[in-house]
């Protein structure tokens, strides 16, 4: 049987990571994978998370199954966090998933079970795993533009492209800190998107993976809450990997909003059934950690302070890189970088220039130009700026 399997494509991000691992140059710099690193280059365990783990270990009584929806207290806590205390939780349900990617796949399965062949619109460019997940679930994928010529959010172009979305199509939007571009809509743009969705009848599908790392937790959740107020149906995939640092604990949830409580109950059962066939039920540890943090006022305040500090360091990295590129004579490119938000930045380099950056300067980013601005220590930013400037000068 296995001899009949054709050579499958490999994952480009992990291919670059493996290539980095075999690079023996001391100055090499890995900006491929989307993980936060502190000033020493480590991905730390947050203090609030560590304290929650200590408390959980002290009171641990059982490893019994939680059920198909996972940890119910975690699901309630994530609903409150995402939709806000005054949000439409009476017409919403949450199911714990295997991280944000698992939430994307469960919700994609829900779409396909509800209406096979549904068209889902994604941005171009998009998070590298959006299209594979949606197509694996059997959905049709179309794209809409995202950036203007200067690398900023193209509000007019997005609205123009999405005018082609039909009633009951699904539009996948990243709630904040767009991956890979770092280009986000302003509140007025989000209001226009909400109005378009309500008028034309397409369903927003929001991917929340970086909330808290852009403009602050409440600001980063504002667009999702606005959409939830304006449209009758909505899907939300939530990840706790970045803002809780729970990368390997694979913690997330899938949220559905419907026009009626009955519709939401049916959707919740459909998500449970999909989970049963994929992995039965999600892992408990990360969900228990998040619940412990969010339900304790002291730990919640500590977590938010740590999250703010992470966001400030990311922004300082971006500001410093832009300033150094300006000093090296690349003002236009620096302005584009300075406008971006979140963990990632899109460099103004072609695929060939990204290859040169890797080969000549030992700086690893994706072929599309994405780098993890949150993955570099401050003392390496001058090296990054010189490498970018060197490649630009070689045009």
- pLDDT confidence of residue 10: 82
Q: Which of 268, 295, 322 is the last residue of a domain?
A: 295
133 and 273 together in one domain: yes
- pLDDT confidence of residue 17: 87
257: in domain:
yes
User: Going by DSSP bridges, is the β-strand pair 203-208/234-239 parallel, antiparallel, or unpaired?
Assistant: parallel
- Mapped to the 3 state alphabet, what secondary structure does 83-109 carry? HCCCCCHHHEEEEEEEHHHHHHHHHHH
Four-residue CA torsion sign, 218, 335, 356, 39: negative
1: in domain:
no
343: in domain:
yes
84 and 132 together in one domain: yes
327: in domain:
yes
For residue 131, is pLDDT > 90?
yes
Residue 193's nearest CA partner among 208, 174, 179, 180 is: 174
251: in domain:
yes
181 and 316 together in one domain: no
The pLDDT tens digits for 310-363 are: 999 999 999 999 999 999 999 999 999 999 999 999 999 999 999 999 999 999
267 and 330 together in one domain: no
171 and 32 together in one domain: no
291 and 320 together in one domain: no
The tokens for 395 are: 């045009």
The pLDDT tens digits for 189-201 are: 999 999 999 999 9
245 and 159 together in one domain: yes
- pLDDT confidence of residue 198: 97
For residue 207, is pLDDT > 90?
yes
288 and 235 together in one domain: yes
Q: Are 240 and 291 in contact (CB under 8 A)?
A: no
176 and 106 together in one domain: yes
CATH, residue 92: 3.40.640.10
Buried-exposed string 222-255: b where 16+ CB fall within 10 A, e elsewhere: bbbbebbebbebbbbbbbbbbbbbbbebbbbbbb
CATH, residue 332: 3.90.1150.10
Count the domains in the chain: 2
51: in domain:
no
Domain span at residue 339? 10-44+311-393
């Amino acid at each position: 049987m296995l001899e009949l399997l054709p050579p499958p494509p490999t994952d480009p991000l992990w291919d670059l990571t493996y290539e980095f691992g075999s690079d023996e140059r001391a100055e090499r710099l890995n900006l491929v994978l989307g993980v936060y690193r502190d000033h020493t280059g480590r991905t730390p365990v947050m203090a609030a998370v560590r304290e929650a783990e200590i408390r959980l270990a002290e009171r641990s009584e059982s490893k019994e199954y939680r059920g198909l929806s996972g940890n119910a207290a975690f699901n309630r806590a994530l609903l409150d966090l995402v939709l806000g205390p005054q949000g439409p939780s009476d017409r919403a349900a949450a199911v714990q998933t295997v991280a944000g990617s698992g939430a994307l796949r469960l919700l994609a399965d829900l779409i396909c079970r509800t209406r096979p062949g549904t068209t889902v619109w994604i941005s171009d460019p998009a998070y590298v795993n959006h299209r594979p997940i949606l197509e694996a679930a059997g959905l049709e994928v179309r794209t809409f533009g995202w950036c203007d010529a200067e690398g900023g959010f193209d509000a007019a172009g997005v609205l123009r492209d999405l005018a082609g979305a039909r009633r009951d199509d699904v539009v996948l939007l990243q709630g904040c800190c767009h991956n890979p571009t770092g280009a986000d809509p302003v509140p007025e743009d989000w209001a226009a998107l909400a109005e378009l969705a309500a008028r034309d009848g397409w369903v927003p599908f929001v991917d929340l993976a970086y909330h808290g790392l852009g403009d602050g937790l409440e600001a980063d959740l504002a667009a999702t809450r606005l959409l939830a107020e304006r449209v009758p149906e909505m899907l939300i995939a939530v990840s706790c990997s970045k803002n809780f640092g729970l990368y390997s604990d694979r913690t997330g949830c899938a949220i559905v909003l419907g026009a009626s409580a009955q519709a939401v109950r049916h959707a919740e059962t459909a998500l449970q059934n999909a989970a049963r066939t994929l992995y039965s039920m999600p892992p408990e540890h990360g969900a228990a950690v998040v619940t412990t943090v969010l339900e304790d006022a002291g730990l919640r305040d500590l977590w938010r302070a740590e999250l703010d500090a992470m966001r400030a360091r990311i922004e300082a990295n971006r500001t410093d890189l832009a300033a150094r590129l300006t000093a090296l004579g690349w003002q236009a490119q620096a302005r584009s970088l300075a406008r971006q938000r979140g963990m990632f930045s899109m460099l103004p380099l072609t695929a060939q220039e990204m290859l040169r950056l890797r080969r000549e300067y030992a700086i690893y980013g994706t072929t599309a130009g994405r780098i993890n601005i949150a993955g570099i220590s401050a003392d390496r930013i001058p090296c990054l700026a010189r490498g970018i400037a060197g490649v630009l000068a070689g045009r």
